[in-house]
Amino acid sequence: MAQAQLDQKKVEEFLGKAIQDVAATFHAGLVLIGDKLGLYRALADGGPQTPAELAKRTGTRERYVREWLSSQAAGGYVTYDPATGRFTLPAEQAFLLLDADLPGAFLLGVGSVRDEPRITDAFRTGAGVGWHEHDTGVFEGCERFFRPGYAMNLVSQWIPALEGVKAKLEAGGRVADVGCGHGSSTIIMAQAFPRSTVTGFDYHRGSIEWARQTADKAGVGDRTTFDVASAKDYPGTGYDLVTFFDCLHDMGDPVGAARHVRQSLAPNGVWMLVEPFANDRLEDNLNPVGRLYYSASTLLCTPASLSQEVGLALGAQAGEKRLRDVLTEAGFSRIRRVAQTPANMVLEARI
Ligand SMILES: C[S@@+](CC[C@H](N)C(=O)[O-])C[C@H]1O[C@@H](n2cnc3c(N)ncnc32)[C@H](O)[C@@H]1O
């Protein structure tokens, strides 16, 4: 297309947006560096610092730290005072980077992008790429990406929103946490309900081993069990609560998994399904959260589902209607949305 036909303003606008995206791609690596070397922590603890002061405090080299700080300042992660040559991590950034563990989300992104050549190939062949086949950053990043939301909402909002479940767990109930990954949700529930037993299941052996160690460190090894099992064949029946956190859409056969949940529940048992937040229509998901999830879904969730039997590939933005169809097909008749956050939607399903 001849340049004269282009709307120059729109070209510039899109270029500006693309430059931000390219910068953000590089920036992801810098966030991992800041996280691993404790640069954000040292800035939060030590207040305004020059590159030399921050380097001294963290045992790193001033020249590298200066470049890193300059980039952080250009990106709005820190502020720069030309009068003193010092850089500051504002309280709000410190909260999100340190308390809310935002670098975990970057780790998930970087780990996913590392596997891009395999996904590119899969576009051509149609083959799946299993969750277990990914870079280890994906497993740790996934845990760190979702855990703050679970820590904030699971015990205080989501479980109380389920009919009758909190009282049962307080008295001592049985919980199966399916597709538990590194077990952050399993451990949070075990900590909150010491009279209950919580079993985490995941088909990925590496994640289960990690979860066991984390539960021991958290002091809940005695009331948690972690076993390698798929969502369609995990053992046990009579569960008061079965939970799936951000994993149903990763499965090849969500309807088969839902049928297995159904037969594993106690009479009056509840299935709590936590999925990424999404509206039903694509056009209503064209926003930053939708972009994040569709991108992760292209690199992780869709290939994961396609690697398993049936290969339904719901995608990470399935939306409530599509999820209800899956649950209804499996024989759940009472389904209601009990909570939502910008990241998650929570459904309660009963037979
Ligand atoms: C996005 S991760 C979520 C992990 C964890 N629930 C969390 O929220 O941090 C999806 C998890 O589903 C697991 N998974 C995928 N397919 C599965 C299947 N068919 N049966 C059991 N687990 C499965 C993966 O191994 C992975 O741990």
Distance of CA 268 to the CA centre of its chain: 29
CA of 27 to the centre of ligand 1 (A): 28
- What's the pLDDT at 292? 98
Token pair listed for 221: 């090894």
For residue 305, the ligand 1 atom closest to its alpha carbon is: 16
Query: Quick check: 235 and 314 in contact, CB under 8 A?
Result: no
Helix (H, G, I), strand (E, B) or coil at 130: coil
pLDDT tens for 266-285 read 999 999 999 999 999 999 99
Q: Which two tokens stand for residue 76?
A: 């709005």
Q: How far is CA 247 from CA 142, 190, 219, 262, 278, in A?
A: 11, 20, 26, 17, 14
Euclidean distance between the first and final Cα of the chain, in Å?
58
To test the pocket of ligand 1, the residue of 135, 247, 341 to mutate (highest count of ligand atoms within 8 Å of its CB) is 247
**Region 202-208: what's the mean pLDDT?**
98
When pLDDT is cut at 50, 70 and 90, the band that residue 1 belongs to is low
Question: What is the best residue among 108, 180, 187, 202 to mutate for testing ligand 1's pocket, by most ligand atoms within 8 Å of CB?
Answer: 202
Q: Which residue has the least CA distance to atom 13 on ligand 1? A: 179
- Collapsed DSSP state (helix, strand, coil) of residue 1: coil
pLDDT digits (tens, 9 = 90+) for 71-104: 999 999 999 999 999 999 999 999 999 999 999 9
Closest Cα to atom 26 of ligand 1: 181
Look up residue 68 and give its two tokens. 């890193």
What pLDDT score was predicted for residue 319?
98
Q: How many CA atoms lie within 13 A of 308 on its CB side?
A: 26
User: Above pLDDT 90, what percent of the chain?
Assistant: 99
Report the share of the chain in percent with pLDDT over 70.
99
**Does position 133 have pLDDT exceeding 60, yes or no?**
yes
- Tell whether the model's pLDDT for residue 55 goes beyond 80: yes
Which pLDDT belongs to residue 2? 61
Residues with CB under 6 A from ligand 1: 131, 142-143, 146, 179-181, 184-185, 202-204, 207, 230-231, 245-247, 250-251, 304, 308
Quick check: 121 pLDDT over 90?
yes
pLDDT tens-digit readout, 320-345: 999 999 999 999 999 999 999 999 99
What is the reported pLDDT for 3?
67
* Nearest atom within ligand 1 for CA of residue 179: 22
Distance from C-alpha of 282 to C-alpha of 209, rounded to nearest angstrom: 37
Q: What is the mean pLDDT of residues 225-243?
A: 98
Ligand 1 centroid distance, CA of 231 (Å): 9
Give pLDDT, residue 87.
99
pLDDT at residue number 27: 98
The residue length of the chain stands at 351
Q: For 71, left (φ over 0), alpha (ψ -120 to 50), or beta?
A: alpha
Q: How far apart are CA 183 and CA 208, in angstroms?
A: 8
Distance 192 CA to ligand 1 centre (A): 22
Q: What is the pLDDT of residue 188?
A: 98
The Cα 170–Cα 149 span in angstroms is 22
CA 266 to ligand 1 center in whole angstroms: 23
Q: What is the bridge-based pairing of β-strands 265-276 and 344-350?
A: antiparallel
Q: Residue of the nearest CA to atom 27 in ligand 1?
A: 181
Structural tokens at position 120: 């590119």
- CA 60, 64, 66, 72 dihedral sign is negative
